[in-house]
Amino acid sequence: MAKVKKAVIAAAGLGTRFLPATKAQPKEMLPIIDKPIIQYIAEEAVASGIEDIIIVTGQSKRAIEDHFDQNQELENLLIKSGKKEKAREMEKIAEMANFIYIRQKGPYGNGTPVLNVKHLIGNEPFAVMFGDDLFVGKKPRLAQLIDVYNKYTDPVITAVPTDADGTKKYGIIDGTKVETNVYQVKNIIEKPGPQKAPTRLASISGYIFTPDIFDALEKTSLGKNNELWLVDAIYKLLKKRPIYACEVDCVYYDVGSPSGWLNANIELSK
């Protein structure tokens, strides 16, 4: 069984909820305390055993590439200033993984960055993460998903407990519990509301996919707002093979929203 060693981080969004702060700065580079959001995402991937991180970017995202690159001038300046530990900290950012960057091409939608990496994945399982979703826990969210994949060798999606209001904002998982915190997915119902929601488990970004997701995406028509939706491709996969949901033991922060970003800063500063 092939191990999950590659992760895709989708980071091509325009960050309109943070304008004007994101007019010339990627939303993924907004800081949580003293690190940009995307560094937390990359560190989660590395802590879960990922070796290759593929970041799908767009226009005005060069700052992401610069952040994960080595800055010899800065490191030398820190060393001359007697800040050797800080210099080594900067050096480690570039060394934490093999970083690969591609520009997003194709229709808007969260399925497009996944389809864009087909030529880089080959016949391997891989992780998909988004640059504005932060999970904090004793064990990385992605490591928990990989544990489930290693046991069942089928795709795995992230599940997070939600409340009645969350049933109006997220896709809700309908599934059968197969073990503690693991469900075999029967359906994902998009924003059903509290009366029609089969569970209080929300499908939040973070996936382990097998390569057949690419065929499903290629056969998926554009959906709402003329976008390519990942969930529509997951529906297609569900007809062909089991898909599991892992209820992760983490705190979730939607750092793509100003309130979620502010909350993460407050909570992680304690």
- Taking residues 180-203, report their average pLDDT: 90
- pLDDT of residue 1 exceeding 80, the answer is no
Both tokens of 34, joined, read 């003293």
- pLDDT classification of 226: cutoffs 50, 70, 90: confident
Q: What is the DSSP letter of 177?
A: E
Question: Which tens digits make up the pLDDT trace of 136-171?
Answer: 999 999 999 999 999 999 999 999 999 998 898 888
- pLDDT of residue 178 exceeding 90, the answer is yes
> Which residues on neighbouring strands pair with residue 128, listed in sequence order?
8, 207
Domains and CATH numbers, the chain: 6-268 (3.90.550.10)
- pLDDT classification of 223: cutoffs 50, 70, 90: confident
**Cα dihedral sign for 127, 133, 137, 138?**
positive
Buried-state track 106-135, b at ≥16 Cβ within 10 A, e below 16: eeebbbbbbbbbeeebeeebbbbbbbbbbb
Helices 37-47 + 141-152 axis angle, to 10: 40
Instruction: Name the phi and psi angles at 75, rounded to 5.
Output: -65, -40
Question: Which tens digits make up the pLDDT trace of 9-59?
Answer: 999 988 889 999 898 899 999 999 999 999 999 999 999 999 999 999 988
Buried-state track 233-263, b at ≥16 Cβ within 10 A, e below 16: bbeebbeeeebbbbbbebebbbbbeeebbee
Instruction: Give the angle 163-169-175 at the CA atoms, nearest 5°.
Output: 65
Q: What is the reported pLDDT for 148?
A: 97
- pLDDT of residue 7 exceeding 90, the answer is yes
Nearest to 191 by CA among 162, 170, 164: 170
Lookup result for tokens 């309908």: 174
Distance CA 126, CA 144 (A): 14
Q: DSSP 3-state assignment of 135?
A: strand
Buried-state track 160-197, b at ≥16 Cβ within 10 A, e below 16: bebeeebbeebbbbbbeeeeeebbebeebbeebeeeeb
